[in-house]
């Protein structure tokens, strides 16, 4: 009976199962594979992958510089969230490929593993080597525009989500060469964030300028009007000096050397080039940055291991050979020789091998030996020729070894205390959950706020650790002194990871952390900021891995408390305050379209205000060139809502006017009709006639592309669908809308409006009526219930994750704010005093 039943079940399963044959095999065409699995190509689809897209394009520009053809790179973040990257290199080839019968430009931007970096005909050394960089960015972009200056012409192609939307066409003449890529990240791919962070981009571009002396790299953010220009004639020597600014160095001039050696595994390739610059200071921390072909290898690799091995060996050998290391002294380790060291290692490898497309680790085995030989020989010569410098370095190393032993004993004492019957600190109010992934600890300033936090918390997963008074400044004190501080010992025991480096059980191990969210919660005043900085300094110096894992957060108590009638609300920032003003402004109002007395529903009024507010914000891309936003919006096509792509700005003396140019064809005609320089594409400021005695105020014309136009078109379409009349944006003599406050009541007020943009301005004014705004400072101003609801409730709170995207800048800032040098700190305060928004006195 059972045999028959099993046979029947088997037959039924086979009949119902899908047949796995050739028809189930898929081949993804073009760049579909990138869109299906973007993490494989750009690392992830979060903040890291977003910025990696910019770096892929910039790396191509730097490859042109490494080949000797480019000298300037420009990166611009536009108001609509798009980004442009341009260089003055040779320009991507635009002639037709003999085999694939399409322009080379289209081939390299739409086909994986197509590029000029596989053979070494076009590039001897490059950072891009997989042939996937630019086309991957194309694949994950909502739209992507390539403009190439080459062969006396400006060539342009447009793409969307990796597919060609505009075949290559010529849009002008030029005497220049180079490539300009503009792209906007696709919201379908980047679900978490599509907002470029200025500091992340600045850090990378600054690095590239250091690593490529003589190349000027400019960054501009049109959203905040920030800009930087990076140019360093002395390369990594200046990099090391930058990293050591505000520190007391042991030698004024960095030890810098450069050499090359043949690639023993493949002698036919060009030599591997090694550049090193290093300098010691009296600090207790080290910073060693390793780069391969200008790409920062965050996980190091064979060049870093070769440097570390050579450094330890040379200093040990020199100390023993010159009788500077006594029998009673502790053995010198790699950690000791690196204390206080800042070093940059840059290698140029003809055929580098990296672990992954994001190139976090160099894996060429031959590089280790080459770096060891070059560093060993050059550093030995430097120490032998400057014995005074050598003695200072070795004295520093011996001090580090003795302090390491003292700190190890102190750490061991803390560890034994935690494992003994005393257990966790008494002031720690722990949570009941034991899975670190589900728990969080609030480090709170003072017992009073700690008491409120303990009462208001969710005991299941939230732990509270109140710290009393100021912590010791770990930037100024050696580690063994820091570990004698009771508050520090309590903090180390509560977190559970141990601290510092080394092989013993008390050394830092991120896997031992008891909480995956470590949240610093202090008052929004001077004392609170100081305590927060002291905490961050200690955690950064001794538990750096917590930052790398994303476990450190800062609680964000609300900035304001607003009151209006019965409404009371906490506000986190100025942007949220602006949104609240618009919300309040639309309460108890009626919007009427006068031409037919159409009354908008409250929900539609909210949508109208939201769209117009967004148009106003994006309109900064127009008004920064002196043009009227209303006039620009009025120039839209009434059927498609398409906006002009360019604005021509015409200035004669103090008189200014503007012409809107719909597309490349209109722009070309305008250039020809006005007899402008053919290089207007590259040099936007042009004079139709030179200034002279007879014509002191020549006509000057600038042409600007409005990248924000695409987003504005979407908003225009949405606003038109709501029913708002948007054919005229400039003010008319006759009123077109009426806003009625408190309709039907005695206090009813009617206001006539003459243009759509006046609606959002008037609504914002109404939002401020009867509103009181109170600046919030201390945690103690809220009871336990309010503290939980505003600052501790996972559903409502706002946490700031502390990531160290620019370790060099973070290190320099901690040194400046918390170190011994007073004059640089005073200059920093003087330079930034006027930038302070809120000051507690």
Dihedral sign (CA 673, 679, 681, 683): negative
Burial of 216 (0-12, 13-18, 19+ CB in 10 A): middle
Q: How far apart are CA 730 and CA 739, in angstroms?
A: 18
Question: 3-state DSSP: the chain helix, strand, coil percent, rounded to 5?
Answer: 40, 20, 40
Cβ neighbour number for residue 558 with a 10 Å cutoff: 20
- CA atoms of 95 and 106, how far apart (whole Å): 10
Cβ partners under 8 Å of residue 119, min gap 6: none
CA distances from 214 to 22, 28, 184 (A): 56, 43, 30
- Of 135, 82, 133, the residue nearest 107 (C-alpha): 135
Rounded CA-CA distance 284/478 in Å is 7
H or E element at residue 349: none
Which two tokens mark 221?
A: 């953010």
Provide the pairing of β-strand 287-292 with 295-296. antiparallel
Contact 345, 283 (CB under 8 A): no
Q: Residues 650, 656, 657, 658: is their CA dihedral positive or negative?
A: positive
Q: Is 445 a catalytic residue?
A: yes
- What is Dmax (Cα atoms) for the chain? 113
527 flagged as catalytic: yes
DSSP 3-state of 228 = strand
Do 205 and 219 contact (CB within 8 A), yes or no?
Answer: yes
**Could you tell me the end-to-end alpha-carbon distance of the chain, in angstroms, rounded to an integer?**
90
Q: In which residue are the tokens 């994750």 written?
A: 801
21 is catalytic: no
* Number of helices followed by number of strands (H, E) in the chain: 27, 29
Structure tokens of 271? Answer: 């030599």
- Among residues 368, 430, 445, 610, the one annotated as catalytic is 445
From 96, 234, 525, 616, the catalytic residue: 525
Give the contacts of 412 (CB within 8 A, at least 6 positions apart): 504, 505, 506
Q: Is 597 exposed, middle or buried (0-12, 13-18, 19+ CB in 10 A)?
A: exposed
Q: 10 Å Cβ neighbour count for 609?
A: 21
Verify whether residue 504 is a known catalytic residue: no
Contact 798, 789 (CB under 8 A): no
CA distance linking residue 656 with residue 701, whole number of Å = 10
Strands 287-292 and 517-521: unpaired
Helix (H/G/I), strand (E/B), else coil: 738: strand
Q: Which residues share a beta bridge with 256?
A: 277
Catalytic residue among 218, 458, 527, 587: 527
- CA-to-CA distance for 800 and 556, rounded, in angstroms? 7
Collapsed DSSP state (helix, strand, coil) of residue 456: helix
Dump strand ranges (E) for 196-264: 216-221, 226-230, 255-261
- DSSP strand E in 116-177: where? 141-150, 153-160, 163-173
Tell the residue number behind the tokens 């007899």, with chain if given. Answer: 675
**Bridging pattern class, strands 141-150 and 255-261:** unpaired
Length of the chain: 841
Write down the catalytic residue from 63, 430, 440, 523: 523
Residues with active-site annotation: 445, 523, 525, 527
């Amino acid at each position: 009976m059972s045999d028959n039943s099993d046979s029947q079940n088997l037959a039924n399963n086979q009949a119902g199962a899908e047949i796995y044959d050739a028809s189930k095999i898929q081949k993804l065409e073009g760049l579909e594979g990138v869109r299906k699995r973007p993490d494989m190509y750009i690392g992830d689809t979060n903040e890291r992958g977003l910025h990696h897209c910019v770096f892929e394009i910039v790396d191509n520009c730097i490859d042109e510089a490494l080949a000797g053809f480019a000298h300037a790179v420009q990166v611009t973040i536009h108001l609509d969230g798009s980004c442009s990257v341009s260089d003055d290199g040779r320009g991507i080839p635009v002639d037709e490929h003999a085999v694939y019968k399409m322009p080379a430009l289209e081939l390299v931007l739409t086909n994986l593993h197509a590029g000029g970096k596989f053979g070494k005909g076009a590039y001897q050394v490059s950072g891009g080597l997989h042939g996937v960089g630019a086309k991957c960015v194309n694949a994950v972009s909502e739209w992507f525009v390539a403009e190439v200056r080459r062969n006396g012409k400006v060539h342009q192609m447009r793409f969307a989500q990796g597919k060609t939307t505009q075949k290559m066409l010529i849009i002008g003449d030029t005497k220049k060469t180079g490539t300009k890529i503009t792209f906007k990240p696709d919201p379908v791919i980047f679900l978490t964030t599509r907002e470029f962070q200025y500091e992340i981009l600045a850090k990378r571009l600054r690095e590239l300028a250091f690593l490529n002396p003589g190349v000027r790299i400019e960054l501009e953010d049109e959203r905040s009007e920030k800009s930087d220009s990076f140019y360093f004639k002395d390369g990594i020597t200046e990099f090391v000096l930058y990293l050591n600014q505000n520190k007391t160095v042991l030698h004024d001039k960095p030890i810098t050397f450069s050499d090359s050696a043949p690639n023993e595994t493949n002698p036919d390739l060009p030599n591997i080039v090694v550049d090193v610059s290093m300098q010691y200071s009296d600090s207790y921390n080290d910073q060693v940055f390793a780069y391969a072909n200008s790409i920062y290898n965050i996980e190091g690799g064979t060049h870093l291991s070769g440097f570390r091995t050579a450094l330890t060996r040379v200093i040990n050998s020199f100390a023993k050979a010159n009788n500077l290391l006594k029998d009673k002294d502790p053995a010198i380790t790699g950690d000791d020789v690196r204390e206080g060291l800042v070093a940059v290692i840059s290698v140029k490898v003809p055929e580098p091998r990296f672990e992954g497309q994001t190139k976090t680790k160099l894996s060429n085995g031959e590089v280790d030996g080459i770096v060891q030989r070059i560093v060993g020989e050059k550093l030995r010569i430097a120490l032998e020729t400057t014995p005074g410098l050598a003695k200072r370095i070795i004295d520093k190393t011996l001090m580090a070894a003795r302090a390491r032993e003292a700190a190890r004993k102190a750490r061991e004492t803390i560890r034994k205390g935690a494992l003994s019957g005393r257990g966790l600190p008494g002031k720690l109010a722990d949570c009941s959950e034991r899975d670190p992934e589900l728990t969080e600890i609030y480090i709170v300033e003072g017992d009073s706020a700690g008491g409120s936090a303990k009462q208001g918390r969710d005991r299941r997963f939230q732990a509270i650790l109140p710290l009393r008074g100021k912590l010791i400044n770990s930037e100024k004190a050696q580690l063994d002194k820091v570990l004698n501080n009771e508050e520090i010992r309590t903090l180390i025991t509560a977190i559970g990871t141990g601290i510092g480096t080394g092989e013993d059980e008390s050394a830092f191990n991120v896997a031992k952390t008891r909480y995956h969210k470590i949240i610093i919660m202090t008052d929004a005043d001077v004392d609170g900021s100081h305590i927060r900085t002291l905490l961050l300094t200690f955690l950064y110096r001794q538990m750096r891995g917590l930052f790398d894992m994303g476990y450190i957060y800062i609680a964000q108590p609300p900035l304001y408390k607003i009151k209006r009638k019965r409404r009371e609300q906490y506000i986190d920032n100025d942007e949220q305050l602006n949104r609240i003003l618009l919300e309040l402004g639309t309460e108890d109002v009626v919007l009427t379209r006068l031409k037919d007395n159409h009354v908008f529903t409250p929900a539609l009024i909210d949508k109208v205000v939201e769209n117009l507010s967004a148009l106003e914000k994006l309109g900064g891309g127009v008004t920064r060139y002196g043009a009227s936003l209303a006039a620009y919006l009025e120039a839209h096509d009434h059927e498609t809502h398409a906006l002009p792509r360019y604005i021509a700005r015409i200035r004669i003396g103090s008189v200014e006017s503007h012409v809107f140019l719909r597309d490349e064809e209109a722009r070309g005609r305008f250039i020809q009709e006005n007899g402008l320089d053919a290089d207007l594409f590259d040099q936007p400021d042009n004079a139709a006639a030179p200034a002279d005695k007879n014509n002191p105020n020549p006509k000057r014309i600038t042409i600007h592309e409005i990248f924000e136009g695409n987003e504005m078109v979407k908003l225009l379409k949405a606003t038109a669908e709501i029913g708002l009349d948007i054919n005229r944006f400039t003010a008319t003599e006759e009123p077109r809308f009426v806003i009625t406050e408190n309709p039907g009541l005695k206090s009813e007020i009617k206001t006539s409006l003459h243009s759509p943009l006046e609606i959002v301005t008037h609504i914002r004014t109404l939002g401020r009526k009867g509103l009181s705004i109170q600046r919030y400072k201390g945690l103690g101003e809220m009871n336990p219930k309010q503290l939980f609801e505003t600052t501790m409730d996972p559903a409502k709170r706002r946490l700031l994750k502390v990531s160290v995207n620019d370790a060099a800048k973070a290190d320099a800032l901690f040194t400046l704010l918390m170190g011994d040098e007073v004059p640089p700190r005073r200059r920093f305060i003087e330079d930034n005093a006027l930038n302070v928004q809120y000051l507690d006195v």
